[in-house]
Amino acid sequence: MIKVSRLTKYYGPTRAVEGVTFEAEKGEIIGLLGPNGAGKTTIMRMLTGYFAPTSGTAKVAGYDIIEEPMEVKKRLGYLPEVLPLYYEMVVSDYLEFVAQIKGITFKERRAKVAKALGLARIEDVKHRIIGRLSRGYKQRVGIAQALLNDPEVLILDEPTIGLDPKQIIEIRELIKSLGGSRTVLLSSHILPEVSMTCEKIIIINKGRVAAVTDKAAIEGKDRILVKLLGQPEQAVAALSKVKSVAKVEHSVEGSYSVLTLESSGKKDIRQDVFKAVVESGLVLVEMRQASHTLEEVFLKYTAKEEDAR
Amino acid sequence: MNSIWSIAKRELRNYFVSPIAYIILTVFFVICGLFGYIEYMAKFQYAQLVPIMGLMTNIFMFLSPMLTMRLLSEEKKQGTLELLYTSPLTITGIVLGKYLGALLFFGLLFLISLEFPIFLMLYGKPDVPVMLASMLGFILFGGTLIAMGLFSSSLAETQIVSAVIGFALVLIFWVMEFFSSAVSGSVGNWLATLSLSKHLESFNKGVLDGGDIFFFLAMSFMFIFLAIRRLEWKRW
């Protein structure tokens, strides 16, 4: 559905994106993760035809973005980071206008506008002026706009930025519900955001793909945090023996010892850890899967990149 | 083609959502009406449309930047240009739609201004061919100013800046004749041929000069083309 090959963009002499290559299958939800200024928006703008790449190309929905941009645009829904809304317009009029410029025929227009209103759950505000809506509703109008033409590929740039926690959860659910039939590419600089909605995660750093990884690796299924009552030395000794524990780090928190275990295999080691703790006579007060922070993930992947050179 | 019309319609509607349409129409007709009253009823009492047409062109010259300032600047500032660029539209289509929208508003203004010739016809015996020629001149002049304003709007990101550029541009072409008299020789003559006011003269005498008609059409075309080029250049 999306096939990006060696996409590069320079703004004058400044490198924004260099040699970005990745692919997305039909129905996948893919996340572009990276700090601000990493080049996420630039990649999206090239894919959506907002501007042309300096070199390289991409295929979206089977069409080349340089050779057949019109065909790409017909099959694409795009939510830019800055919401492209006409604030003085009424929601339904706005969607009607977008339907017109997206080339939706008069016959279909009404049904499609109604469908988009439904998907974004904004029927109750359709007669209101966009400028007077709350940020969360504006975001939904933006999403409705992107969904109007039943796009095969949906590109969402920071879809949850500026929303409150409740709205973030709602938008996240909405995005998840959109996957399946559509290919969704979204960007974020917030790790949990991406790991919660996307199966495949592309880490972008300084305009390059630092890593292509999946949800599990980022969520830290392979990493367990254990909090024990007792001396750290004793605890480390006991837990190092557990099968497939590769690395143990420890710290002290008052009278507790906090250990971080990393497993080498895919197997869940929590059962074994529990047994080992009981056998050694220590008292377990807490155990959970520890998620990586964005910094850790970056360090991990950017360090790998450095090593490779 | 349909999308050009959609953009134009939205633009026309937009004028009436903001106070700008009402301000332009009110200022325009209050001044023209007052002047018309003084000119015809109190002062000369002759049935000619030319004096009021002259005033209409002058007033419209001041108002046209207000009409065109938001066309592209606002889209850039609000981020809606990103929507237009990523929709299946061409830049030419976008710009033509914008032009058509402003032109439709101008058309409305022109329709209301028909009250002046109508009253002249009712209460006097104006020279109809001269009247029609001067009306055609006004239409061509308006279309050219809108194209100039559209181009100015493609240059700036804020409405105020684009209005200022637009007004400066119109003014330069309006007083070009004055510049030309200061420069001797062929350069001076060449400058004179670019003067907006000079090309309006023949219309107000009731003469339909092919060269003058061509001048206004070519100017409009050129500024629309420049606006398109400007956006394309900005994009790559």
Query: In terms of C-beta density within 10 A (0-12 exposed, 13-18 middle, 19 or more buried), how is residue A184 classed?
Result: buried
Q: Which residues in chain A are contacts of B14 at CB distance < 8 A?
A: 86, 88
Helix pair angle (B70-78, B128-155), 10° resolution = 20
Structure-token match 């559509």, residue found: A182
The pLDDT of B123-133, averaged and rounded, is 86
Closest approach of A79 to chain B, Cα-based (Å): 8
A-B contacts at Cβ under 8 angstroms: 67
**What is the DSSP track for A231-248?**
-HHHHHHHHHTSTTEEEE
Q: Helix axis angle, B91-113 relative to B50-68, nearest 10°?
A: 140
CB contact under 8 A, B82 and A49: no
DSSP states of A68-88: -HHHHHHTEEEE-SS----TT
Nearest CA in chain A to B94: A101
Q: Chain A contact for B157, CB < 8 A? A: no
Q: Which of B2, B3, B80 sits opposite A84 (nearest CB)?
A: B80
- 3-state class (DSSP) for residue A289: strand
Distance (Å, rounded) from C-alpha A155 to C-alpha A151? 10
Cβ–Cβ below 8 Å for B6 and A86: no
Span A62-79, pLDDT tens digits: 899 999 999 999 999 999
End-to-end Cα distance, chain B: 24
A chain contacts of residue B81, beta-carbon cutoff 8 Å: 84
Nearest residue in B to A151, CA atom? B87
Selection from A57, A76, A66, A63 nearest residue A17 by Cα = A57
**Of the ranges A187-196, A225-234, B97-106, the best mean pLDDT one:** B97-106
Determine contact, residues A187/A163, Cβ cutoff 8 Å. Answer: no
pLDDT of residue A216: 67
Asked whether the predicted pLDDT for residue A121 surpasses 80, the reply is yes
* Contact between B79 and A73 using a beta-carbon 8 Å cutoff: no
Is A130 within 8 Å of A87 (Cβ atoms)? yes
**Is A88 in CB contact (< 8 Å) with chain B?**
yes
Question: Starting from the edge strand earliest in sequence, which strands make up the sheet with A200-205, in order?
Answer: A76-79, A153-157, A183-188, A29-33, A200-205, A208-214
**Which CA distances in Å does A21 have to A31, A43, A58, A218, B183?**
14, 10, 9, 20, 60
Helices (H), ranges, A5-134: 40-47, 69-74, 91-101, 106-119
Could you give the 3-state DSSP secondary structure of residue B113? Answer: helix
- Residue closest to A59 by CA, chosen among A126, A172, A143, A152: A152
- Expressed as residue numbers, the domain containing B67 is 2-235
Q: Considering only residues A39 and A247, tell me which one the structure prediction assigns the higher pLDDT.
A: A39
Cα–chain-centroid distance for residue A112?
27
Nearest to B3 among A52, A83, A103 (CB): A103
Cβ neighbours for A300, distance < 8 A, ≥ 6 positions apart: A292
A83 close to B (CB below 8 A) = yes
Contact B88 A70 (CB under 8 A): yes
Q: Which of A273, A285, A265 is nearest to A221 (CA)?
A: A265
Contacts of B118 (CB under 8 A, 6+ apart): none
B38 vs A109, residue with greater confidence:
A109
Q: What pLDDT, on a 0 to 100 scale, did the predictor assign at position A45?
A: 93
Using a CB-CB distance cutoff of 8 angstroms, which residues of chain A are in contact with residue B88?
Answer: 70, 73-74, 101-103
Query: Which residues face A208 on adjacent strands?
Result: A205
Position B41 confidence tier, pLDDT thresholds 50, 70, 90: low
Smallest CA–CA distance, residue A241 to chain B, in Å, is: 58
Which token pair is B43?
């002062």
- Average of pLDDT values for B209-228? 94
Q: pLDDT, tens digit, for every residue of B52-103?
A: 888 889 899 999 999 999 999 999 999 999 999 999 999 999 999 999 999 9
Question: pTM of this prediction?
Answer: 0.85
pLDDT of residue B198: 85
The C-alpha angle with vertex A59 and arms to A69 and A113, in degrees rounded to 5, equals 60
Dist CA A95 CA B195 (whole Å): 44
- For residue A184, the cross-strand partners are A29, A154
Higher pLDDT, B55 or B234: B55
Q: Where are the alpha helices (DSSP H) in A198-269?
A: 215-219, 232-240
Closest A-chain CA to B233: A51
- On the 0-12 / 13-18 / 19+ scale of CB atoms within 10 A, B217 is middle
Query: A293: pLDDT confidence band, cut at 50, 70 and 90?
Result: low
Do A88 and B6 make contact, defined as CB atoms within 8 angstroms? no
Mean pLDDT across the stretch B96-123?
92
Query: How many residues in chain A?
Result: 309
Are A85 and B78 an interchain contact pair (Cβ–Cβ within 8 Å)?
A: yes
- Quick one: closest CA in A to B16, which residue? A88
Is residue A227 packed enough to be buried (19+ CB in 10 Å), middle (13-18) or exposed (0-12)?
middle
pLDDT in tens, A146-155: 999 889 999 9
Interface predicted TM-score (ipTM) of this complex, two decimals: 0.88
Other beta carbons within 10 Å of B186: 8
Which chain A residue is nearest to residue B78, measuring alpha carbons?
A84
Residues 6 or more apart whose CB falls under 8 angstroms from that of A130 comprise A85, A86, A87, A88, A89, A90, A91, A94, A138, A141
Name the one residue in this structure whose structure tokens are 């480390």. Answer: A236
Instruction: Name the more confident of B109 and A271.
Output: B109
The larger pLDDT score, comparing residue A85 to residue B3, is at A85
Q: How many Å is the maximal CA-CA distance in chain B? A: 59
User: What is the total count of domains within chain B?
Assistant: 1
Per-residue pLDDT reduced to its tens digit, A30-66: 999 888 888 999 999 999 999 889 999 999 998 999 9
Q: What pLDDT shows up at residue A228?
A: 86
Q: What is the CA radius of gyration of chain B?
A: 19
pLDDT value, residue B24: 93
Query: Cα separation of B202 and B192, whole Å?
Result: 14
Residue B13 near residue B104, CB atoms below 8 Å = no
